[in-house]
Amino acid sequence: MGLAHLGELIEWDRLLAAAVLIGHTPIHKATMIMLNERDNYEGEFGALRFQGDVCVQERIDPMEDVRQ
């Protein structure tokens, strides 16, 4: 996650990528938004990936609930 997905994020949603680049949106959260919108959290593996991503996001910002 993170910088590995930045190019993909730029292609997918330039406004969200711009928000990441100016520091308005954390890259991990933006990547989670992209993965969710592209149904990458579907199925058994997707559910495990989501749980892992939530765990990382909770370490980054414990006050933000990204499970919604």
Domain ranges for the chain, please list them: 2-60
| Length of the chain measured in residues | 68
Burial of 38 (0-12, 13-18, 19+ CB in 10 A): exposed
pLDDT beyond 80 at 65: no
Q: What is the pTM of this model?
A: 0.79
If you search the block for the tokens 């969200």, which residue do you land on?
16
Res. 48: pLDDT tops 90: yes
pLDDT tens by residue, 51-62:
998 898 888 887
CB atoms within 10 A of CB 24: 10
Task: Mark out the alpha helices in 2-68 (DSSP H runs).
Answer: 6-12, 14-21, 27-37, 43-60
Q: Check: CB of residue 47 under 8 Å from CB of residue 41.
A: yes
